[in-house]
Structure 1
Amino acid sequence: YLNVQKTGRMKIPFGIAQIGKAFRNEIVARQFIFRMREFEQMEMQFFVQPGTELEYFQKWKETRMKWHQTLGFGAENYRFHDHEKLAHYANAATDIEFRMPFGFKEVEGIHSRTNFDLSQHEKFSGRSIKYFDPMTKESYTPYVIETSIGVDRMFLSIMCHSYREEKLENGETRVVLLLPPALAPTKLAVLPLVKKDGLPEKAREIVNNLKFHFNTHYDEKDTIGKRYRRQDAVGTPYCVTVDYDTLKDNTVTLRFRDTMEQERVSIDQLQSIIEDKVSITSLLKKLQ
């Protein structure tokens, strides 16, 4: 806290976020990756002026819930679980729970920890870490609002909600992973209709132009229908088909994973159509 505050010349309120390994030895590991003795945790400590902590606690409750709901899994699948029994140092605590296949379960915790963390550091280090507030002209030990989210649990919630086995109009079944585009590992697959007549070369040209902007995959094996199904199964949000008309007018067929709808677009438009939707900034903009 003090290193960041001093070197960054940070003013209260500000936060420090990190990700790393966490361990618990008192639990029984169960429910696949929902409960593990060793897991990844993302955490933020947000430092505030004493007396304002409940205001910021409420703010972070709203902001974090909004973040989860931007993933598009439905507001009805999330809920708060406010704690009635608090730790001795806390004055507010809540969990964000997601509807897993085995019921509503915690994916993130938000806690108002008062000044316990920093006062303990101060006590056992013997060093003052009080913050001098230039606005109020007073020194105080900041209060902490903590948000803590399990990466493994977040991954599990996304996978549980995204996996679908859909019955199509022609009687076939497709397996599709409806990942939020910003989280999909591969954003675009470029598929030549056939492996001849210059179509593969044109397709690779498109890949080479777009691969610097987002993860782009090339696939020429099997029929175009099988290739679509393959990309659906791994959650690729967009597919581009290069056909004979592409060589004439520089347009391609753009297919959308979720609806399977297709439209004809110019190659020059691909980046602008896809980039914003598959970028993490598309999610962050919704938090404004």
Structure 2
Amino acid sequence: MTTQENSQKPKEANNSENTFKKIISHAKEYGFVFPSSEIYDGLQAVYDYGQYGVELKNNLKNLWWKSMTQLNDNVVGVDAAIFMNPLTWKASGHVDGFNDPMIDNKDSKKRYRADTLIEDYAAQLAEKGDSEKAAAIVKKMNQLLEANDLKGVYNLIVEEKIKCPLSGTSNWTDVRQFNLMFSTQVGSVAEDSNTIYLRPETAQGIFVNFLNVQKTGRMKIPFGIAQIGKAFRNEIVAKQFIFRMREFEQMEMQFFVRPGEEMKWYEQWKETRLKWHQSIGLPAEKLQFHKHEKLAHYANAAVDIEFAFPFGFKEIEGIHSRTDFDLSNHQELSKKKMQYFDNELNENGKPYGNYVPYVVETSVGADRLFLAVLCHAYTEETVGEGENQKERIYLKLHPALAPVKAAIFPLVRKDGLPEKAQAIFNSLKYDFNIIYEERDAIGKRYTRQDLIGTPFCIAVDYESLENDTVTIRYRDTMTQERVKIADLRSKIENEVSLKRIFEKLG
């Protein structure tokens, strides 16, 4: 980093922080995301999606689902229950090992993930030019965590004089493990109730249904099972708006392959998924791969697709080669065979026989993807010249993802224009999510639609009564075009169809 770059960094960081605050404010003010149960002061790290947020999120989920199950003839879907037999989480390793190291500052009463605290400190060192020391600290931390040496992690924090960001002191408690699973009781009588868990991931619902899907669908290896669903984690530190929440939604696909072929499919799904994110409008320069050096207990390879949020590059999707860990553990604990008979594969002229498949996983955080799309779409620009110059804010969403596809406006509320506009609205509402609005000056109506990302505004004026034409105003360029009412449906359909995205995927 040059001296000039270094001197600019605090300003850039400050600008990014301000931008993120604006995006959070925009999300609430215009009906995308609300704090949950806000009238009771909310609940930390829990959010509700508003009327436009739920449309955008559903559009993203629908696109992901169709990309997986419709474009791939060997991928099918399931919808597994949130509650599962607790032995599921014993086999998966969550009961014994789904923990984060936590530490509290005695002065601020603030709780932190110890590894995050150390990583943030190392990042500060790197920013100051001491990358070598930063890397050494992270490496030592990983070694201590791998050995479950929590005392060593505490000593590392003390030795480096890492301070609490709030109190500015190093008055820490011991480091201890914190299980991230939410538990509850099931049963009609307290004495007879059993402890079960709210699932911390959706993947296990796929694994326990592997044989059900394979046999009933007559699926042949390689094949995948996709699922979209809620998961729950009692995060120690939930922060950065909807990036890290205690209740969140995952879009996962587990791809079952022959042992020994997992790395070929791992590489293929890496590239496929990166291309998918680019196809929805996230630019290549804002996406990167981050390879895992420290692997989860179930993986032999792992990489994240990260997006450049205002607060830095962070994960939006993980691609993992999970080996046969999950199916083998479920087979061992349940005593039910999780094997596949491969009658197409021969080894030295002999049938290969039964084997437990290996798995390549792609897992997208639906909420994180929503936030990435929202952050990239949020646009501030200066328009006009001289005294007419003004600031403009709009959401530059891909038309296929926009919550509202078009808005119909009568120029004025008289002379038959509302009736004409209403007739156009009624003819299009069965095909697209559109809205009709007649209040306020038309300029204000355009602005409101820009703020929620509506790609097309259709104005009905006096000429419309004479020749059945309307004016389409395009969100991104603000240019206007006169078109026939009869051509509206095909014109909108061409722009908002998922086909525009599918074509980019090949």
**TM-score range for the pair, normalised by the shorter chain length:** over 0.9
1:18 & 1:4 partners in 2: Cα distance? Answer: 13
CA deviations on 1:101-141 (whole Å, 9 max, x unpaired) are 01100111000011111111111111112111231142211
1:130 is matched with: 339
Measure, in 2, the Cα distance between the counterparts of 1:253 and 1:184.
20
The number of equivalent residue pairs is: 288
Gaps of 5+ in 2: 1-209, 346-350
- 1:1-288 pair list within 5 angstroms: 1-136=210-345, 137=351, 138-169=353-384, 170-288=388-506
Secondary structure, aligned partner of 1:135: strand
Q: Secondary structure at the match of 1:29?
A: coil
Comparing 195-204 with 33-42, which one deviates more in the overlay?
33-42
Deviations 1:41-93 (A, max 9, x none): 11111111112111111111111111111122311000000112223432211
Q: Give, in whole Å, the separation in 2 of the partners of 1:269 and 1:162.
A: 28
TM-score (norm 1): 0.96
Distance in 1 between residues matched to 2:461 and 2:477, nearest whole Å: 21
* Greater mean alpha carbon deviation, residues 17-26 or residues 110-119: 17-26
Q: Which moved more, 1:85-94 or 1:261-270?
A: 85-94
Higher Rg = 2
Query: Would the aligned equivalents of 2:382 and 2:390 in 1 still touch at CA under 8 Å?
Result: yes
Would you say the 8 A contact 2:461–2:470 is kept in 1? yes
More strand by proportion, 1 or 2? 1
Partners of 1:258 and 1:97 in 2: CA distance = 26
Percent same amino acid at aligned positions? Answer: 64
The alignment partner of 2:241 has SS state of coil
Whole-angstrom CA distance in 2 between matches of 1:91 and 1:46: 15
In the TM superposition, what whole-angstrom CA distance separates every residue of 1:253-273 from its partner, at most 9, and x where no partner exists?
Answer: 111101111111111111111
Task: Give distance in 2, aligned partners of 1:73 and 1:234.
Answer: 18
Partner SS for 1:265: strand
| Alignment gaps of 5+ in structure 1 | none
Distance 1:183 1:78 in 2: 19
- Partners of 2:449 and 2:241 in 1: CA distance: 26
1: CA distance, partners of 2:362 / 2:473 = 38
User: Aligned equivalents of 2:468 and 2:377: distance in 1?
Assistant: 34
Q: Give me the whole-angstrom Cα distance separating, in 1, the residues matched to 2:483 and 2:340.
A: 57
Moved over 4 A (4+): none
CA RMSD of aligned residues (A): 1.3
1:104, 1:43 → 2: CA distance?
21
AA aligned opposite 1:217: I
Deviates more, 1:72-81 or 1:132-141: 132-141
Give the TM-score of the pair, scaled to structure 2. 0.55
Q: 1:159 Cα shift?
A: 1.4
